[in-house]
Structure 1
Amino acid sequence: MTTSATAPARGKIVLSLAGVNKRFGAVQALSDVHMEVAAGEVVALVGDNGAGKSTLVKVISGVYQPDDGEIFYDGKKVTVNGPSAAQDLGVATVFQDLALCDNLDVVANLFLGQERLLGPIIDEAGMEKEAWRLLRSLSAKIPSVRIPIASLSGGQRQTVAIARSLVGAPKVVMLDEPTAALGVAQTAEVLNLIERLRESGLGVILISHNMADVQAVADRIVVMRLGRNAAEFRVEEATTQQLVAAITGASDNVVAARTARSEARSAEGPAGTEGDPDE
């Protein structure tokens, strides 16, 4: 893999979970979950529906408190008592629904609930300047910060949501299915944004069902199944077949069968096959 200018920051663990458990009545949602995220690293969190991904994200973001286990932020053990506590620590979350207000402009959405004041009044000029700075840091394609969110495309809305997560200068950003329901061009735009987050030295947790997106931008892939750690891969070492097997818990699947057939054909070679133009 190529390294960016932020490569020296890689390796410093900014978020770590050890032995995290979460139960809802008789349902054990998380069992002894471990995960680490380093600065300048994209960690993909994948798994089937019900694997525990959403519960783990909500534990990290402070929506749920774990029944057991430890959470370390910047090397210090912390207790995340709520979403505000997570934001204060430096953990930002962009949920799938984005939670944007369509009738407000980009600036108002970026600073909603955390408006900047100039004496007794809102500092509109200062917020607009900071809005442009954040969007430029992401190389975002937004025509104006004063147009309503309703006028933006799906990819541009995702851009605004990601930019909003950077307002508090976090060290970890979690993205929940950021490319869901986006077209090809918009998906590429969002994947570029994730690359920008990595290059700026942030730790990124990417939750996605799209294996192509995961393999395009992730450095490591953490697979969850039935609320537990099922596997972990370096992205350059993981094949789609291995990922599907880890997610489903079975190697007997369509992807594995197709790969086996392809490998068998490659082993046979072109000689002696039907339709050989030299025959």
Structure 2
Amino acid sequence: MTAAATAPTSGHIAFKGIRVRFPSSAGHDVLVMDDFNLEIPAGQFVAIVGPSGCGKSTLLRVLSGLVDADAGTALIDGLTAEETAERIGFMFQRDTLLPWASVQDNIAIGLELAHAPAATAKERIRELIDFLKLTGFERNMPHQLSGGMRQRVSLGRLLAYDPDIFLMDEPFGALDSQTKAVMGRELLRIWERHQRTVLFVTHDIEEAVTLSDRVIVLSPRPGTIRLDLSIDLPRPRDPRLLRKEPAYIDYVDRIWREIDAGAPVQD
């Protein structure tokens, strides 16, 4: 956190006793999570890692109300998803841009959802386009943009909506490694400026350590917390320099050891 940043007063997340079952093609339910508990302070950047199927994305969907838990509650500042839906912004692995809308019109959707005053909307769009380094592409359509630029537009729409909580489900997972690194730097820059609570799902351990204040390692299904690791690396962070630091390497190794230790034994 930079010296100029102020601590957020809203955006505290609490998962309490979450149980989720999904039907399977075999005709029986699959227990994805059982009695899952986790608290995240307002303004904290938390990454969730773990094997496929352990419930990482499910947690985001439960918090946003897209999936109903079979038991337990997910709360934001003590309120349920139904009471706080407008305070959550969701960013998926694949962008959800409207193909018939320009860059500026896609970003404007976030302002419309936030019921921003029309008198200030144009200036806010201009500020976001400049902040996200999209100047000159305002009228381009999504098919005219690279993958990284499309994700910048998605970030712009999220920032225009200005939710208290960013839910990010592998938002850079479909990008090549170079573009992913660039987008990671952009996200760090955005977080340091806006200080929102972020819940970030990824399979990339290095990405998790680079971005986060805290990394949660989940076990194989049903997902439980194997490791809750605070990342004590100074901010602001430059990912290019950070990866040479011994502490960074130690964090990555520790998370990998925990994931390997929790992997099911193969016959």
TM > 0.5 fold call: yes
1:182 Cα deviation after fit: 2.0
* Whole-Å separation in 2 of the counterparts to 1:223 and 1:192: 23
Letter in 2 for 1:214: A
Does 2:257 match 1:245? yes
Q: Deviation per CA, 1:151-187, whole angstroms, max 9, x where unpaired? A: 2221111111112122332111011112223234422
User: Counterparts of 1:68-87 in structure 2 under 5 Å?
Assistant: 68-74=71-77, 76=78, 78-81=79-82, 86-87=84-85
Any conservation in 1 of the 2:45–2:200 contact (CA below 8 Å)? yes
Q: 1:223 to 1:161 in 2, by over 3 A?
A: same
Secondary structure of the equivalent of 1:167? helix
User: Counterparts of 1:199-214 in structure 2 under 5 Å?
Assistant: 199=192, 200-214=194-208
* Whole-Å separation in 2 of the counterparts to 1:184 and 1:245: 23
1:10 Cα deviation after fit: 6.3
Secondary structure of the equivalent of 2:160? coil
Q: 1:166 to 1:11 in 2, by over 3 A?
A: closer
State the match for 1:95 in structure 2: 92
1:72 Cα deviation after fit: 2.4
Any conservation in 2 of the 1:176–1:206 contact (CA below 8 Å)? yes
* Whole-Å separation in 2 of the counterparts to 1:249 and 1:168: 41
Aligned counterpart for 1:155 among listed residues 143, 148, 151: 148
1:198 Cα deviation after fit: 2.4
1:86 Cα deviation after fit: 4.8
User: Counterparts of 1:109-258 in structure 2 under 5 Å?
Assistant: 109-112=106-109, 115=112, 127-136=121-130, 139-142=131-134, 143-199=136-192, 200-225=194-219, 226=221, 227-236=223-232, 239-250=251-262
Q: TM-score, normalised by structure 1?
A: 0.74
1:114 Cα deviation after fit: 6.5
Q: 1:162 to 1:230 in 2, by over 3 A?
A: same
Letter in 1 for 2:97: L
* Whole-Å separation in 1 of the counterparts to 2:126 and 2:182: 18
Q: Deviation per CA, 1:198-246, whole angstroms, max 9, x where unpaired? A: 2211011111111121111111001112222221111247633321232
Any conservation in 1 of the 2:21–2:31 contact (CA below 8 Å)? yes
1:64 Cα deviation after fit: 0.7
* Whole-Å separation in 2 of the counterparts to 1:62 and 1:251: 30
1:46 Cα deviation after fit: 0.5
* Whole-Å separation in 2 of the counterparts to 1:147 and 1:210: 31
* Whole-Å separation in 1 of the counterparts to 2:10 and 2:80: 20
Letter in 2 for 1:99: T
* Whole-Å separation in 2 of the counterparts to 1:55 and 1:71: 12
Secondary structure of the equivalent of 2:258? helix
Overall identity of the aligned pairs, in %: 27
Letter in 2 for 1:15: I
State the match for 2:13 in structure 1: 15
Letter in 1 for 2:37: H
State the match for 1:265 in structure 2: none
Does 2:99 match 1:107? no
Bigger radius of gyration, 1 or 2?
Answer: 1
* Whole-Å separation in 2 of the counterparts to 1:128 and 1:35: 40
State the match for 1:56 in structure 2: 59
1:48 Cα deviation after fit: 0.8
CA RMSD of aligned residues (A): 3.0
* Whole-Å separation in 1 of the counterparts to 2:34 and 2:74: 14
Question: Runs of 5+ in structure 1 lacking a partner?
Answer: 117-121, 254-279
Q: TM-score, normalised by structure 2?
A: 0.78
